[in-house]
Amino acid sequence: MGGEFSAVPPSAGGSVAGIPLDELTPRVRALLIQQIDENELLAAALADMRVRIEELERLVDSDTLTPLPNRRRFLRELDRVIQHSRRYGTPAFVMFVDLDGLKAINDAHGHVRGDAALIHIAEILATMLRTTDVVARIGGDEFGLLLEHLDEEAARDKATKLAIAVASAPLEAGGVPIPLSVSIGLARITPDDSADAVLARADAAMYAIKNQTRSDR
């Protein structure tokens, strides 16, 4: 009767949970081994669950069209940067980037091309930023950027380079280039800022640039 628990004979040496096998009865030994196997299965299930949760969190934070984070993730990162700037006095800026004339692109070339233009802009912005910067799509044709450890001159230079990069890389649509341009507003994060306040200033700065560009044409 006890033979059914003798898969590992006492003479085999070794231990279970730190207890030498030859000090255990066959039944106790089998129960301990079973418990260890169940614990390992549980640990594997928990590890798989953690991976699934991380994947769901990534999806919740991701834009549904472009390869960028979404507004939810951007606001969370913006709150973090504001707190860091408040505590350490680290210079940081928000850029508000708007794709000019998306409606005209949609009307002339269709919404598929309009979506392609947004993806194209997202890729340009992502490739031109540092690994410490954050870029996200925060609205239909709007992108937000977070830049830390930059003075105002460097931040404005970055904005200029981004605008030039977009203008220099038209969207190819069926062999026909579609010229693109962006308007970029810049706002410095201050110690008493909130996410809404600094975004509003960057948004206002962007519209000032857009209106100035229109009046210059």
Angle at 108 between CA 103 and CA 113, to 5 degrees: 75
Tell me which long-range contacts 174-177 makes (C-beta under 8 A, separation of at least 24). none
pLDDT at 23 over 70: no
pLDDT at 78 over 80: yes
Given the residues 141, 151, 192, 203, the one annotated as active site: 141
pLDDT for position 30: 77
pLDDT at 217 over 70: no
CB atoms within 10 A of CB 96: 27
Mean pLDDT of the chain: 85
Instruction: Residue 133: name the closest of 97, 179, 170, 181 by CA.
Output: 97
| pTM summary value | 0.74
The question of whether 22 is a catalytic residue gets the answer: no
Residue with tokens 């628990």: 5
Question: For 96-118, what is the mean pLDDT?
Answer: 95
pLDDT at 160 over 90: yes
Question: For 24-49, what is the mean pLDDT?
Answer: 76
pLDDT at 162 over 60: yes
pLDDT at 39 over 60: yes
Residue with tokens 């299930």: 45
pLDDT for position 54: 63
pLDDT at 104 over 60: yes
Structure tokens at 65: 């069209």
pLDDT at 124 over 70: yes
